[in-house]
Chains A and B, each alone.
Chain A
Amino acid sequence: MQRRHPFSIGTSILSILVILGLAVMIYRFVNGLGAISNLSDGRPWGLWISFDLYCGVALAAGGFTLAGAVYIFRLEKYHPVVRPAILTAFLGYTLVILALLVDLGQPWYIWHIIINWNVHSPLFEVGMCVMTYTVVLALEFSPAVFEGLNRSNLPVVRDINWRVPWGVIRAIQIPLVIAGVVLSTLHQSSLGSMLLMMPTTLHALWYSPILPILFLVSAIAVGPAMVIFESTLSNRVFGHRLETDILSGLAKIIPYILGLFLLLKFFELMAVGEIGLIFTAYPYNLLWWGEIIIGSVLPIILFSIPDIRQSRKGVFWTSVLVIMGLIFNRFNVSMLALGMRPGYVYFPHWMEFAISIGLVADALLVVWLAYRFLPIIQHEEMAEVKA
């Protein structure tokens, strides 16, 4: 780095949040979960499961949707956004795992899931898939690291031929991408299956035997929205400019997937004869309408307007709606519409927020470092050298 970058305000704030999160984590491991959270027997899963697990995994869906679109469906147009999508997905999954390490009562026994299988448990499947998929994502992203190392001028590093591991990963790229799609399909839907165990506690507006399918479809819809969101922000921060064509192309796909999601939701409610609940089940119906309007109806309308699809601002803010709708939905199913044991109340403790926010800050710092030191956007150099 020839130019010296001053440590900006943004990165200082991020560092403070990271340190605060770490401090709370240490406090948690010394004093137990009860000391830092408002979790209780009445509400055993709280903010971390709703935000870090349920939202985190869904919002990281850009990794498998974009990798699938580019490498399997050969939609070469979206090549420039694959690498950022895979990087953010990898970081997303790392965050999910870190958050689970905080949430688990005894995280040092996490390896128990590798030796004690209960194949009937949706959470077993989620755990195994998240672990495997994180490795797959790391491998999918590794070519960028090898390219970065290949370019670097550090003493020992420059003597190693980084093209060898790079070539190996390139050779197994398609199987890797297929594995990523398969694993994602399984665990994105299994997060929904986890709720199938609660037919009596999850509100009838959300409980449905097709929850796994709804979870998968909404994750596929939010994947491209997340890619639009992230690349627009990174454009602003790092100055790389993506072609509007790519963004509006992604924006064009989203309404179809959201439309499918809406249809499934409505037909399911009608099939079981509970459609009336959307008017009668006050106050839960407000949460339901909120999620549907913000996350599905408005984005479908907005993304169908060509002028909005051609405007960077329009595409960005509509994607924000899709993302907010998904977060709303995941909070509804995993917290707000999920019954508590009688006599308990729950609102997250500030230290629960500190952990979740600290983890997000971790990821943002890593993204910042990656954009600075690794070839994320332009990455055809090595291929040309080889050819």
Chain B
Amino acid sequence: MTVAVLFDANRCIGCRGCQVACKQWNENDEAIPTEENGVDSKNLGSNENPPRLSAHTWTRIRFTELEYNGKFHWVFTKVQCMHCEHPACVAACPVGALTKTAEGPVIYDDNKCFGCRYCMVACPFGIPSFEWEDPLPWIRKCTFCMERLNEGLEPSCVKTCPTNALELGEREELIQKARERIAKAPDKYVDHIYGEKEVGGTSWLYLSPVPFKELGFPELDSEPVTVDAERAMGAVAPVLLGVAATMAGIYWLCKRREKISQDKSTKKETLK
């Protein structure tokens, strides 16, 4: 039994209360982007703010305006770590600083990390961030509010959401719930629960009125991205033994051949 969150874009009103709650709970202060603070403040032409995830912004609402099926849509989607069922970051991390917990969240341990950033490169959703400006930098990403879950509380974003666009629950039950919601209003939802199958499934599930591709969600196979790497790593032990044995064998053969040809030439000399 693993926990998951279901996000319904038809319910989200783009209030960004989740962003604020996330920053407050995780004490993610960030300089307010003004010129006095030395941070460039730019109007990006939308109500989105901050413009992207960072080590101080673990979640944000993305705003998308588009026309779909002849109808105008203004869709809000929440972006954060997807807490994959088969996380690439966990497989990638050389020191095991990232782990997939039995409950579902993918969590990170400062005490093991040394800052190689392979997790950032490997993540198919482009989520983990790095404290680039800090001389003692760590990786930062959504924790699923693991410490709140342990106390029986909902993640701070879910707790804050005023419209139930975010719901915490058991993964299979939420998928069931999402199916029912699609079935009840097939004209309001595309028939796709994003995160049910993508990269082998994620702990965050999405419902949307428009195709997810239009919302900037990466199009991903149902196969976990870790499969090929796992297979390659499984070959390490046999390759190690195989190469060692082959090299020893070749050495022995070549040495023997050398000896035989030496013996022959000395024999010839003595015969003379």
Contacts and interface: CB of A to CB of B under 8 A. Distances in A.
B220 A123 contact: no
A41 interface: yes
Interface string B204-225: 0000000000001010110001
A343 interface: yes
B230 A105 contact: no
Contacts of B115: 104-107, 109
Interface string B23-53: 0000000000000000000000000000111
A40 interface: yes
Interface residues of A, number: 63
A39 B255 CA distance: 51
Contacts of A29: 135
Interface residues of B, number: 60
A198 interface: yes
A127 B115 CA distance: 13
B92 A121 contact: yes
Contacts of B114: 104-107, 109-110, 112-113
Contacts of B96: 116-118, 121
Contacts of A124: 94-95
Contacts of B159: none
A263 interface: no
A182 B243 contact: yes
Interface of B: 51-54, 88, 91-97, 112-118, 120-122, 124, 126, 128-138, 216, 218, 220-221, 225-226, 228-233, 236, 239-240, 243-244, 247-248, 250-251, 254-255, 257-258
Given A123-B93, A193-B229, A201-B121, 8 more contacts: A29-B135, A32-B135, A41-B126, A106-B138, A120-B91, A181-B243, A186-B236, A198-B121
Q: Which 4 A-B pairs rank lowest in CB-CB distance, beginning with the nearest? A: A105-B115, A34-B132, A124-B94, A341-B126
Interface of A: 29-35, 39-42, 44-45, 68, 71-74, 103-107, 109-110, 112-113, 116-127, 174, 177-178, 181-182, 185-186, 189-190, 192-194, 196-201, 209, 212, 338, 341-343
